[in-house]
Structure 1
């Protein structure tokens, strides 16, 4: 049952990404692509900061001491922030041109392709999971979906 709940949570996350694309397209047209992308990050920083303050006041965890260990982390782990930047720019540019559906299926296609490689080779410390015919079949179906929706 726990796994079903997690799958539903992941689906909700995917729905949120589609909403983000729907927001970024018109916002990018209105105020400019880079300004729209920056605004999304700024709002995210504000919301995360407020959430951390609320959790610290509630006594859940001392996030400031956790953040203090950030400079001690391997530098390559900190490059994950670039991924969000790239993703947001791609959404802002492509959504007005091809629509939310095509953008999301294209994003999904890229995600599945990269995640299969990460799993198969155990990249970035991930547990190795061999690519099998089912996973290849799923990727082919997503490629077909991209072709059909475009």
Structure 2
């Protein structure tokens, strides 16, 4: 698939994220604690993917497939819990835009580090002046979005 449609799909996927955070924050209030909302969100995710796995007849994974794999492959689940819980706790306090721009700024810094080092099993990619400038603009955008609240 060409590059541009992939970027558009990624952007549309990203547009769903603030809705997830807001809905999970409301769920946390309804359930009486943010961690219950984190668990409920992850259970709903599992319930949504299970029918897809069955419809596509995806074979069950094997323990042998995990043998010899690096321990860091489990970090995705940990990162998911951290993100979902942070969204539940922080989005109501910061607002959707302020929370999301801070998350995006952090993602850009982390992504550049992964590209630079070839971390988490991805191929290393050069971090040149253009990519650094783009990331600096995202960080500046995060400051601009946050400025009204910070300057009070």
Say whether residues 1:126 and 2:117 are aligned partners: no
In 2, the alpha carbon distance for the partners of 1:26 and 1:127 equals: 39
In 2, the alpha carbon distance for the partners of 1:118 and 1:75 equals: 17
* Runs of 5+ unmatched residues, structure 1: none
When normalised by structure 2's length, the TM-score is 0.86
In 2, the alpha carbon distance for the partners of 1:2 and 1:116 equals: 23
Say whether residues 1:43 and 2:44 are aligned partners: yes
When normalised by structure 1's length, the TM-score is 0.87
**Residue 68 of structure 1: how far off its partner (Å):** 4.4
Q: Residue 79 of structure 1: SS of its match in structure 2?
A: helix
Residues 32-111 of structure 1 correspond to what in structure 2 (within 5 A)?
32-56=33-57, 61-62=58-59, 64=60, 66-72=61-67, 73-111=69-107
Change (3 A) 1:78 1:142: same
Q: Residue 56 of structure 2: SS of its match in structure 1?
A: helix
